[in-house]
Chain A
Amino acid sequence: MAYTVPATSKTPALIVYLLDVSGSMGEEISGKPKIEIISDALHQVAVRMVQRSTKGTTVAPRYRIAMYAYSSQVTDLLGGIKTVAELAQMGVPRLQPMDATDTAAAFREAERLLNAELGNLQDCPAPLICHMTDGEYNTGGDPEPIARRIMNLAVPDGNVLIENIFVTDKALTQAVSDPKNWQGVTDETPLASPYAETLLRMSSQIPTTYASVMAEMGYRLSPGARMFFPGNAPEIVELGFAMSGATPVTPVMAP
């Protein structure tokens, strides 16, 4: 359970994005619609994944990516799982705000995908679910039980990881002023809303190997921090998506 298996062409990392595109994602933060900030951050993480996969101009298929947008329905944005090279060819889709927020439906789709894929991922890094939302579900019920089932799925490298990016200024009692030096959210961090606490419980602890990769990117997340990134600053959104691409790509020693 060390999360040390590197993402390689022969053992690619599976990353599943669950993206809230409810109506509230059309609201602005820092003078820009949230949905555009999310699209930009997704583009950046795609570029970063390509950077981490290139040998010369060759993009090695180190990552396999699925991308679901959800509102009252779940939409498969890529038409199935794509390699990072295929995603680079397709480009990252631009998102549009829709209507309601059925978070549980999105997690059910992720669970279905993982159950279908897990048998083929025994030599691969543990899969990661990256969930981004800006508010509590208003239809479809509580996603936490599904998230718990997902977190209990495992491959030899470790249990499936779940990360939550919560685009809101109502989750923390004190806003993050310096994302690069922020130590992250631990179980002791005071939270300002019940849904933030729910999302924290749905967030895996950051593996040491991921924290090392993030340190190379200049972030200082503390040991014990969870994969939970609340805030409405674009830098926090960027940090959250950067974490989703932080699977080690070179062999690492178990900590």
Chain B
Amino acid sequence: MNSAMDNLLTDNIKRRNRTNTRLKYIIIAGAVITVVPIFLIVGNLALKGYRQINLAFFTEPAPDTFQAMMAAASGEVIPGGIVNGLIGSLLMVLVASLVSIPLGLMTGIYLYENGTKRYANFIRSLTEILQGVPSIILGIIAYLWVVKNITRGYSALAGSTALTIMMLPLIIRSTEETMKMIPVTIREAAFALGAPYYKMIIKVLIPVSFSGLATGVLLALSRILGETAPLMLTALGNPSVSLDLTKPVSAVPLLIWDFYNDPNMVNLVWSASLFLMIFVLSMNLLSRSIASKHKYI
């Protein structure tokens, strides 16, 4: 009688242990499957893309489809590079940063200083909504505002506008989150010494939270550098290097899109994608390493 009961109990425990171990292996398998794509993508791009990455890749503008076809036919690397896209990307990102970083910093500080006041809460919610707006819609907006009314044609300025609106909420959020971690005593110490408000911000708030702010800016940059959709509606693309804000300009993701649509350029897409991915990922990882090194501000 007693031993029968014991058997029943041990059977039950065995079963529970079995399902317990099974779940553990399922979880591990699921987690591994989730990260497999990252290896596949990086490996695939590296294998097929490295051949085209040479000096010309960084110094020459994109080739035309005829040059690419000739090179592909004779099995050589495609001549030319992505310098027009590189310069265009840098130009638009620079303009977007010049506007959104100071504006985002000031707005973030405003939200931090005004805590839970009704207006600040409202602005905070709007910032969250802005952050969730799909990037293609910001392309439409920059088209309506800048392409239609200001530059009267596709332009780098319109591309920068879309990127600025994308970047602004990211900077605002990261600024406020970083500032929240500063001990209030530091602020109060500055005021106790008689520092005026602006000096407290410039000499205390910003330096103390600098690494956090840098992380936020780098993350925002890594987000907008890979953006394609809004630029298709605004910057359009340009076969040669251009620094004119009122004229169409190319960008690395736009070049990838052009190459992708041209069967002769396939080899160049792999390289351009590889380059863009490495560029964006290293910026991303850099920002995370800064963040983990300075966990408490």
Q: Please say whether chains A and B are actual partners in one complex.
A: no
Interface residues of A (CB under 8 A from B): none
Interface residues of B (CB under 8 A from A): none
